[in-house]
Amino acid sequence: MLVGCSSATRSPAAGSSDPGGLALKDGELRLESALHQLDLIEANIHSLSGAVGDPVAKCVKREPEVIARGLAFRLVIGKRGMQEKAAEMAYYRLLQERRPDELIPVVYLRKYYHEGLLGCVLDSVGVSQKDAMAESEVRILVGSNFEAETGDGLVMIDFMTHWCVPCKRMAPDLEKLARSYKGTLRVGRIDVDRNMSIAERFGVDVFPTLIMLKHGKEVGRVEKLLGYPELSRWVESELRGPGSPSGEAPRGGEQRKAESGG
């Protein structure tokens, strides 16, 4: 698990130049949408890491296209000789600190690398990428749309960070939940590192934290990774009446927020 990343964030610099034309009004939403897709890709790769013959390791070490894409990502993050773990840590620090216009090209390059890795792995196990990736039904939450997306109806919010390994692993199950209960439940993800004021309002310092809202009011909370069956039971219990998957909110989250300056 990746730990020790600072959860501090900076506001976008006013009047900063934007030579790439990426500082759009919905820059945060665009950034987080790309990061969510990346989390799904990484979760798919992880699910195949235990397949016969370890196709993930083979693709990382032997597939020239995958190696080239990984090198390109590390060159953007740091330098040619940077080790993979160091590049990961540097990347997650950037996600916490930089503006969307600075981050979107980096995230797209990382996504390009992982798409190549996933494609190689899927080819190895005989699965098509089209079958592996479905269109997202999870709402991407940021400061500008949070109130509109969560103020009415039944909403499950995943308070997460992109360095949290359990958060990534739960993303596909949240997608499945959103598809299964479409029209009845909205499922959203919010990046705590870039939306700390909202996390503080809800008292969130454990990742992942799942909070169920009904008409904008909290009716349940779970501070750990849940699989689809547990998520579905929780939704069913809320549709019937108040409660959480076990009748009370379990405690003991998977990853805690790092101390300031960590």
> Is 211 in contact with 156 (CB distance < 8 Å)?
yes
- State which amino acid sits at residue 79: K
* Residue 59 falls in the annotated catalytic set: no
Catalytic annotation, pick one of 5, 59, 120, 164: 164
> What is the spatial distance between Cα 151 and Cα 132, in angstroms, rounded to a whole number?
33
CA distances to 10, 114, 118, 203 from 75, in Å: 24, 15, 21, 38
Element (H, E) at 95: helix 84-97
* Residue 5 falls in the annotated catalytic set: no
For the residues of 45-63, what is the DSSP string, one character each? HHHTTTSTT-HHHHHHHH-
> Is 137 in contact with 179 (CB distance < 8 Å)?
yes
- Tell which residue, 157, 227, 175, has the closest CA to residue 40: 175
> Over the range 186-198, which residues count as b (16 or more CB within 10 Å of their CB) and which as e?
bbbbbbbbbbbeb
> What is the spatial distance between Cα 171 and Cα 32, in angstroms, rounded to a whole number?
13
Catalytic annotation, pick one of 5, 59, 120, 167: 167
> Is 100 in contact with 81 (CB distance < 8 Å)?
no
CA distances to 63, 87, 208, 262 from 8, in Å: 37, 19, 17, 9
Q: Which residues are catalytic, by number?
A: 164, 167
